[in-house]
Amino acid sequence: MLLNAVSQRAGASLRRAAMLCLLSAAALAMASCERSGMTGSGTQRTGPSGQDVVRITGSSTMAPLIAELASVYEKENAGVRIDIETGGTSRGIADVRRGVADIGMVSRALSPGEADLDARTIARDGVALVVHASNPIASLSAEEVRSIFTGRVSDW
């Protein structure tokens, strides 16, 4: 499964800077990012204490990784606060499009109808299939797994 961070292609420099900062953190580079503090609407997004605020919404699959990266980034950049909210991939995409979020967390590839967004893969998620030790089946092929999950096989 792909774990993507998305922003609007024509988005403000805040979105681009936030995206670059999180991607840098994901690569363990933690490079400094210059921030303009402007949202797509041209208004400054700041918190009560005057910090620049980056709002990230979307996939709960990505939230633990992004929360850890955000924590490290905030410690190294005292003037930045990163707010993270889950609600699913669709919410992340919708919030970015409406300008409610600077970055959307997306746990799938973008569809052709989402080509207006800029996606950056920051991780891949693994899936393991586990059976009880008493199950006589020692292994399953990819085709057998596909058959089980598509419902072609129901007794294995």
Predicted TM-score of the model (pTM): 0.64
Residue 30 included in any domain: yes
Beta bridge partners of 3: 123
Mean pLDDT computed over 42-66:
79
**Whether residue 60 has pLDDT greater than 50:** yes
Tokens of 33: 């990012």
Residue 76 included in any domain: yes
Residue 67 included in any domain: yes
Number of domains, the chain: 1
As a dihedral over the C-alpha atoms of residue 26, residue 88, residue 78, residue 24, rounded to 10 degrees, the angle is 20
The 8-class DSSP code of residue 111 comes to: P
Residue 11 included in any domain: yes
Q: Where residue 101 sits, what CATH number does that domain have?
A: 3.40.190
Q: Is 55 helix (H, G, I), strand (E, B) or coil?
A: strand
Residue 139 included in any domain: no
Of 107, 125, 106, the residue nearest 117 (C-alpha): 106
pLDDT in tens, 95-140: 999 999 999 999 999 999 999 998 888 888 788 888 888 988 888 8
Q: Which domain holds residue 23?
A: 2-124
